[in-house]
Amino acid sequence: MAKQLIDQAAATLPADKRVSVYQSTKATHEKRTKLLFDQFNDPDLLRQRAGEIKQHVIENLDTLLPAVEAKLKANGAQVHWASTGEAACEAVLRIMQAHGAKKMVKAKTMVSEEIELAHYLEKHGIEALETDLGEFIVQIDKDHPSHIVRPIIHKNRREIATSFEREGLGAYNDDPETITRRARQFLRHKYLEADVGLTGANFVSVESGRIVLVTNEGNSRFSLAAPKVHIALVGIEKLVPRDRDLGVLLNLLARSATAQQLTVYTEFISGPKGATQPDGPEEMHVIFVDNGRTEVLASDCREILRCIRCGACLNVCPVYRQASGHAYRSVYPGPVGAVLSPLLAGKKFPELADLPKASSLCGACNEVCPVNIPIPDLLLRLREKGKREGAPLASVGTPPMGAWALMASQPTAWKAALFGGKALNYLPTKLIPVPALRAWEEKRALPAWRGGEFRKWMKQRRKS
Amino acid sequence: MHAPVRPSPFAPGERPKIQLMATCLCDAFYDDVARATVEVLEHLGVEVEFPEGQTCCGQPAFNGGDWPASRKVVRHTLRTFAGTAPVLLPSGSCAAMLRHGALLEFEKESDLPEVKALAARTWEFADFVVNALGVKTWPGRYDATIAFHRNCHNRGTGSEAASLALLNSIAGAKVVPFGEQEQCCGFGGTFSVAFPHVSSSMGTLKLDHIRAAQPDVLVSGDMSCLMHMGGLAQKAGQPIKTQHIAQVMRDALRNGGLLR
């Protein structure tokens, strides 16, 4: 029986990578759980509240987006709208060209990965340097992130030391502190040379027009210290209605993502440099990116837009732990990616139609989600879509169900099969005519067939 | 997923009556689990009806994305389990299909109200014993160390607490904790054959954790998980003893001389 692509990827993942992904995700998940349950009486209630806040946002974008635009403008920022990834890239380029800018420092933004901004800018002769340590390593290795919060979860320090040596950042040394110090030294100069600092946004408050950024390395702060222009790339779903909603969401985000009470840096940016401020960007541009999100909003999977990109579902997911992030062939891996990536793919949905299959539907992702997204339900809806639209990848390894449904809706046929199945007890595996049963027997023994025995017993019992 | 614990469907003094849905796995492989379910319920004075026309809950096609095929089977189940008596299943997974999954695939169907009504009177075995019948402790004797696998479909339902309360109350029984208890066994229906590597790796990891706790028996409320873990262990040449919670309860009654 054919195997799914993600299963093949897991089967060929080198053992050392699997071990580092497993150990790291397991440790973070366990710390996260302990922290939440030690510190809050009812973390599940908090997750529900956070989910309601974000659900309110996605259901009211039509009024919240114009409101936040007005607020941002009042704060002195310029607001741009990009309906596609391409339009967002062009908007960034236009701003850079208007300033004759050639160098950009980037703090981590998933949206820029999504729209492949660095690649686009490079083609137009602009250096866009990643300043998040993990993203920086991904960039010098021409690799891809494999986790939403920990882009290099699939790498070990020996690989990183080798990359640094290759890039002329110093002789081979795999001591983590040395690696970090070397990256810092290299990046400090880049911050000073940059014309533009680009960030994402974890949240944007509609009430105050504040952009909220969380990092642990301070790189977003450095990215905004020297450059004269700040560009923020923001998915249209990133809003929160009021500043005080951040009390709920920030508390959950750091705990869910990295098992911290709060990230080391939490920045609130409410516009470009003011008249009395000595430093900071003189111009601030906020680019709201749609890139398929309004279509997701119109679908029956809209709850996925609540996502705050914490990665908790990746950390707990047994499939992600076995397969790692690259197996998902998209920017967003793991359970959230298995929903979001095929949806954002739009017309290319069939190319990722296997992702929603990569789940035993165990529900652990929903159990940890800080905004309580019913991920298993959404995976099921996308499986139905894949099947309905006849996407070949969606059906790999899944037996056709038509004949089974016919039998399971006719008691006579069902009973005949129950008794007839006894033949299985005498057939060698290689002669079993059902591919799914043979696939089962590759890894597990099949129990003895006892079809109809209970029914006989029940009849006997009723007679006596 | 997070279904609140429901009140008992029976009036005080009323003789409880249920319709048993044995599930396809018990129908085909695990007749003793269905027998134990009947014996435990009858011991508790429950009248058990077994509708002969029953087949399957429809989950394989639902999870496979073939919702029209699944709805066909759910509609058959609707007809077979007519009436108002609670429908009881010795499986958290099949119960979840009727309580939750069916509601998703019938969202836009005209017979959604019937499906909702069926969902409202569907019960998983341990949830029913504790929350519908009000049984909090279990008599008899069962001398064994138990590793209890919480089947994933019981996440957030009343079943997990109910199962643990029952098992912990049996004289001689000792439930032992093991590592990563919240993790799935890797079965997942057709997932087990479409993702054989991931599925069996998940199961093997689970078995390693369970073996480290050195239980005498692995117990769950779902034969699908036990079929997967038991089958993996057997194939690996290190078989483990598995039992459904209804079998443990029935055996406790037998050991205590409480079963006729």
ipTM for the complex shown: 0.97
A427 in B contact zone (CB under 8 Å): no
How many residue contacts between A and B have a Cβ separation below 8 Å?
222
**CB atoms inside a 10 Å sphere around CB A125:** 7
A 74-103 → B contacts, CB under 8 A: none
Closest Cβ opposite residue B184 in set A2, A364, A442: A364
| pLDDT for res B3 | 66
Tell whether the torsion through CA atoms of B30, B129, B145 and B171 is positive or negative. negative
DSSP label at A43? H
Closest Cβ opposite residue A443 in set B28, B61, B196: B196
B9 in A contact zone (CB under 8 Å): no
Dihedral of CA atoms A92, A94, A98, A100 in degrees, nearest 10, equals 70
| pLDDT for res B30 | 98
B236 in A contact zone (CB under 8 Å): no
Measured distance CA(B23)–CA(B93) in Å, rounded: 10
Measured distance CA(B165)–CA(B160) in Å, rounded: 9
**Closest approach of A134 to chain B, Cα-based (Å):** 27
Measured distance CA(B226)–CA(B23) in Å, rounded: 14
Closest Cβ opposite residue B232 in set A384, A397, A443: A443
With cut-offs at 50, 70 and 90, classify the pLDDT of residue B1.
very low
**Mean pLDDT over residues B93-102, rounded?**
97
Contact across the interface for A388 and B65, Cβ inside 8 Å: yes
B 189-218 → A contacts, CB under 8 A: 189-203
Percent of chain B whose predicted confidence (pLDDT) is above 70:
99
B 61-90 → A contacts, CB under 8 A: 61-67, 69-70, 72-73, 75-76, 80
Closest Cβ opposite residue A454 in set B27, B66, B72: B27
Residues of chain A with pLDDT under 70: none
Cα distances from A18 to residues A38, A206, A321, B198, in angstroms, run 30, 42, 7, 12
B230 in A contact zone (CB under 8 Å): yes
Contact B150, B181 (CB under 8 A): yes
pLDDT tens readout for residues B46-96: 999 999 999 999 999 999 999 999 999 999 999 999 999 999 999 999 999
**Mean pLDDT over residues B229-235, rounded?**
98
Measured distance CA(A339)–CA(A304) in Å, rounded: 7
| pLDDT for res A434 | 80
Measured distance CA(B90)–CA(B123) in Å, rounded: 9
Partners of B58 on chain A (C-beta within 8 Å) are: 408
DSSP bridge partners of A231 = A198, A285
**Which tokens is A205 given?**
């408050």
**Closest approach of A245 to chain B, Cα-based (Å):** 24
Cα distances from A196 to residues A91, A234, A423, B221, in angstroms, run 13, 16, 72, 59
Q: Is the pTM of this model over 0.80?
A: yes
Contact across the interface for A444 and B200, Cβ inside 8 Å: yes
B109 in A contact zone (CB under 8 Å): no
Partners of A364 on chain B (C-beta within 8 Å) are: 152, 155, 182-184
**Mean pLDDT over residues B232-236, rounded?**
97
Measured distance CA(B197)–CA(B207) in Å, rounded: 15
Contact across the interface for A447 and B55, Cβ inside 8 Å: no
Interface test with B, best of A48, A409, A422, A455 (most B CBs within 10 A): A409
B64: nearest Cα among A405, A153, A29: A405
Cα distances from A302 to residues A58, A268, A370, in angstroms, run 8, 28, 16
**Mean pLDDT over residues B223-248, rounded?**
97
B158: nearest Cα among B126, B202, B188: B126
